[in-house]
Amino acid sequence: MLGYYLDLAWRSLKRNRVLTALMVLAIALGIGASMTMITVLHVMTADPIPGRSGQLFYPQVDPRPMDSDNTTPDPPDQLTWIDAMNLLHASEGVHKVAMSGGRVTVIPPQGASHAFFVPLRSTTADFFPMFDVPFVDGSGWTARDDEQRSRVAVIARDLADKLYGTPHAVGRMLQLGKYAFRVVGVIDQWNPSPHFYDLGMGNYTNQPEQVYLPLHAGLDLKLSTYNSITCWGGGYFPDDNDMRKATACGWMTLWVELDTPAQVAAYREFLVNYSEQQKALGRFARSPNTRLRDVMAWLDYNHVLPGSVQLQTLLALGFLLVCLVNTVAMLLVKFLRRGGELSVRRAMGASKRAVFAQLLVEASLVGAAGGVAGLLLAALGLWIVRQQPVEYAALAHMDGAMLGATIALAVCATLLAALFPAWRACRIVPARLLKTQ
């Protein structure tokens, strides 16, 4: 029966080619515009570390004086060096990682005249297992390397290819400024989006870190610049570029892994107790003001998703609705004009349900054609997004799930638009139209 309905639908669509083309175009425009923005929204709201985001938490404490920045109740986004080290070495938490980002000078084998800057991450050994960083060669360094300030490095695959012509660079020497580091690992392609673990580099960055160094080793050698620094109450930037001396500046990022709700509750209590202890020591002036957010809550708190993207998505969906209203009107005209044909089918024994199904099959063909054309328009729309000077532009690509969703949305939207026209056509009294033939 379906084959018969498809044959009738195809014949009907060919008889009214202009109207068919207009319906397909209306669906395609609505689907193309909406799926462009839905795809952008989809990639920008995706979990940057699936399966782990609910176990990784970002702690905040408030060391500011009472007269500093009372416009927000939330503590600073970053930690001072003292607080970061205290929390890092506390017993609470399964794994912990402290870090700071910046840029560093790389001197290639060709000499200093060919030197260039790359993004740097100074961090601790747990960074790689905590964030499921993939390796193509070697591995991260150890906690012992952190303690001994070992001159070891992990580099990105792109940098290994550029410097050594191969990703298998473990054991090679890496020249950073006037210091040499031994490569112990090469990271495969890895660039979480959003860049959740340090938003100071930008929410969506096209330039992931190329060099990773043990935290103390990187800071001891004063190799890097800093991504983000916030000072308060007379805080200052040290003349020797060693931010560890800046006791009233937040510039460190710290993440802690907590596997169970009980561990989360215990860590929240630990942060309160820590703040009370620091207030008793005279370091903190305020009552305990702490926060502990997991990955997705941290991204939401920082408004990582631009409001403009949300607004554009709503506008695109509104445009799709307008296109569907136009499609309803055209389907209604088309179906009612075929009243005589449908009445003959009814007079020959076809039920209302059979006629209704036939019209919906015809509408689904229009929807499928509109979906295919909409895919092409969505691809064009995503290409236009990629040309825009916005940090998330490179993410605007449609994956397999969104391809299927585009066709499904087109067909479902068209079927929904066809319900009233098909129902209205089925209510025509066959005898009334047959008498006029």
State pLDDT tens for residues 33-46. 888 888 888 777 78
Domain identity same for 244 and 208:
yes
CB 115 within 8 A of CB 107: yes
pLDDT (mean) for 8-13: 64
Has residue 50 been placed in a domain?
A: no
Query: Which of 155-159, 207-211, 381-385, 393-397 has the largest mean confidence?
Result: 155-159
Domain identity same for 339 and 261:
no
> Considering only CA atoms, which of 249, 254, 140 is closest in space to residue 187?
140
pLDDT (mean) for 60-85: 85
> Considering only CA atoms, which of 102, 233, 231, 124 is closest in space to residue 177?
102
More confident residue, 335 or 301: 301
Cα separation, 71 vs 224, in Å, equals 32
pLDDT at 271 over 60: yes
Rounded mean pLDDT of the chain? 83
Has residue 261 been placed in a domain?
A: yes
Tokens representing 373? 């054309």
Domain identity same for 285 and 415:
no
pLDDT at 348: 61
Tell me whether the omega of the peptide bond preceding residue 194 falls within 30 degrees of 0, making it cis. yes
Domain identity same for 153 and 293:
yes
Has residue 114 been placed in a domain?
A: yes
Tell me which of 286, 301, 316 is where a domain ends: 301
Domain identity same for 210 and 345:
no
Query: Which of 12-16, 117-121, 351-355, 413-417 has the largest mean confidence?
Result: 117-121
State pLDDT tens for residues 73-99. 889 999 999 999 999 998 887 789 999
Q: For residue 191, what are the contacts with CB-CB under 8 A and spacing of at least 6?
A: 205, 208
Has residue 63 been placed in a domain?
A: yes
Domain identity same for 75 and 221:
yes
Domain identity same for 388 and 429:
yes
Has residue 166 been placed in a domain?
A: yes
Tell me which of 250, 284, 301 is where a domain ends: 301
Residue 167 main-chain phi, psi, to 5 deg:
-80, -10
Has residue 51 been placed in a domain?
A: no
Query: Which of 99-108, 228-237, 245-254 has the largest mean confidence?
Result: 99-108
Strand partners, 437: none
pLDDT at 298 over 60: yes
State pLDDT tens for residues 396-422. 777 777 777 777 887 888 878 777 777
Number of compact structural domains in the chain:
2
Domain identity same for 70 and 25:
no
Has residue 425 been placed in a domain?
A: yes
Q: Which residue in this structure is represented by tokens 């969703």? A: 405
Domain identity same for 343 and 196:
no
CB 328 within 8 A of CB 322: no
pLDDT at 258 over 60: yes
Domain that holds residue 211: 56-301
Domain identity same for 93 and 157:
yes
Domain identity same for 62 and 38:
no
Q: Which helix (H) or strand (E) holds 8?
A: helix 2-15
Domain identity same for 314 and 226:
no
Tell me which of 274, 301, 328 is where a domain ends: 301
Cα separation, 202 vs 199, in Å, equals 5
pLDDT (mean) for 156-181: 93
